[in-house]
């Protein structure tokens, strides 16, 4: 990461993720670099995602989108 977000910036970025989680479904099994402005870049190769996100010059966090989210009910 070219810049480390402050604790306040990190909280705001995570809030954005929680409000916009639905749009991440299409990036299953991928790393997504994002911030409060939206998704910066995504891909399956973490090094490439970091390089592209760093090149943007923006502060960001990276989220590995799980392939499956759900719950299990045992009867």
Task: Give pLDDT tens digits for 8-66.
Answer: 999 999 999 999 988 888 999 999 999 999 999 999 999 999 999 999 999 999 999 98
Residue 17 CA to residue 35 CA, distance in Å, equals 8
Lookup: tokens for 64: 């590995």
pTM of the model: 0.81
**Neighbouring C-alpha atoms within 13 Å toward the C-beta of 47:** 0
Asked if pLDDT for residue 71 goes beyond 70, the answer is no
Residue ranges in 1-75 assigned as alpha helix (H): 7-19, 46-56
Residues 6+ positions from 6 with CB-CB distance below 8 Å? none
Lookup: tokens for 7: 């604790």
């Amino acid at each position: 990461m070219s810049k480390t977000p402050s604790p306040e910036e990190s909280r705001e970025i995570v809030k954005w993720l929680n409000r916009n989680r639905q749009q991440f479904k299409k990036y299953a099994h991928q790393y997504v670099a994002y911030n409060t402005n939206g998704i910066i870049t995504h891909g399956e190769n973490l090094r490439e995602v970091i390089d592209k996100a760093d090149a943007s010059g923006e502060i960001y966090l990276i989220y590995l989108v799980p392939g499956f989210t759900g719950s299990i009910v045992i009867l």
